[in-house]
Amino acid sequence: MNRLHRAAVSAVFGCTLLCQAVYAGRSCAEPQPSKTETVVRALSLALQTVTVLDATGAQVVVLGRAGQDLTKYGLHYSHFGFAYKQTDVQGSQVWRILHKLNQCGSADSAIYRQGLGHFFLDDLWRFEAAWVVPTPDVQQKLLAVLLDEQRSVQMHVKPYSMVSYVWGLKYQQSNQWAIETMAMALEPDMTGADASRAKAQRWLLSRGYQPGVLTIGALTRLGARMTAANVAFDDHPNEKRFSDRIETVTADSVFAWMQRAGLTTQAIQTIN
């Protein structure tokens, strides 16, 4: 089996937790079969990503993708998760991704461990990866959490909204789970039962995290809320919501914050 074949098999079949068909933020009512060209491009991007990440010598990277067109909001990337190296049953080092996904446009979500192929097979708007390598200390603390089956999902709650309020607890979108998990890993006082989303958010606020701000008018909010189960705005403070100011966790804001907070010493890198 050549390297491309091995990488493709590892990427596509590397799902180790809750492995099933998932369409992030989209309805599963009428699933469309993946086009051959799309699969080839996704696997090619996965293989490129594996090669580039291997060359970094890192054990954990923060990895983003452009799953949706968010350019009207000034955003490049829609989603991020934690890519980490793990020893497989053959004793080889392979990359896995731990991230949160919305289940078929519903109001629920779950945490998934997958190969990089799954990460890029989700009907991407743009075949591009973005990543940053955390500092060695941050990697070490993150890896300990990512490999722990209980702690890795401790910050997760099922109620989901794509635009959940950054400092709210009613819903939790994918990027929000990831950054709250990062906070839990890096805050020494958040161990065991002492860990909570509220504490994670206080730590993020104290470390200068600034959310993405989306300008979404009343008519757009009303239409989205009436037609999509995975969109809700009622957790946002009235003074911000009624001024069309929606503050939520975006991949772009997390990448920028990691640099400001000294959690990485490198600029964001891209693969396309």
pLDDT tens per residue, range 37-66: 888 899 999 999 999 999 999 999 999 999
pLDDT at residue 106 in the model: 85
Share of the chain above pLDDT 70, in %: 85
Looking up tokens 């504490």 gives: 199
Question: Residue 232 contacts by C-beta under 8 Å, 6 or more apart in sequence?
Answer: 107, 161, 163, 164, 171, 225
Question: Residue 11 contacts by C-beta under 8 Å, 6 or more apart in sequence?
Answer: 43, 46, 47, 50, 115, 116, 117, 118
pLDDT at residue 7 in the model: 45
pLDDT at residue 206 in the model: 96
Q: How confident is the model at residue 163 (pLDDT cuts 50, 70, 90)?
A: very high
pLDDT at residue 66 in the model: 93
Of 64-78, 175-189, 211-225, 242-256, minimum mean pLDDT range: 211-225
- Could you give the CA distance from residue 238 to residue 256 in angstroms, rounded to a whole number? 27
Do 23 and 104 contact (CB within 8 A), yes or no? yes
8, pLDDT greater than 60 = no
pLDDT at residue 202 in the model: 96
Q: How confident is the model at residue 105 (pLDDT cuts 50, 70, 90)?
A: confident
- Could you give the CA distance from residue 7 to residue 152 in angstroms, rounded to a whole number? 25
Of 17-21, 53-57, 181-185, minimum mean pLDDT range: 17-21
- Which one-letter DSSP state was computed for residue 32? P
Do 191 and 264 contact (CB within 8 A), yes or no? no
Task: Look up the pTM and report it.
Answer: 0.88
- Could you give the CA distance from residue 263 to residue 29 in angstroms, rounded to a whole number? 41
Q: How confident is the model at residue 223 (pLDDT cuts 50, 70, 90)?
A: low
pLDDT at residue 19 in the model: 40
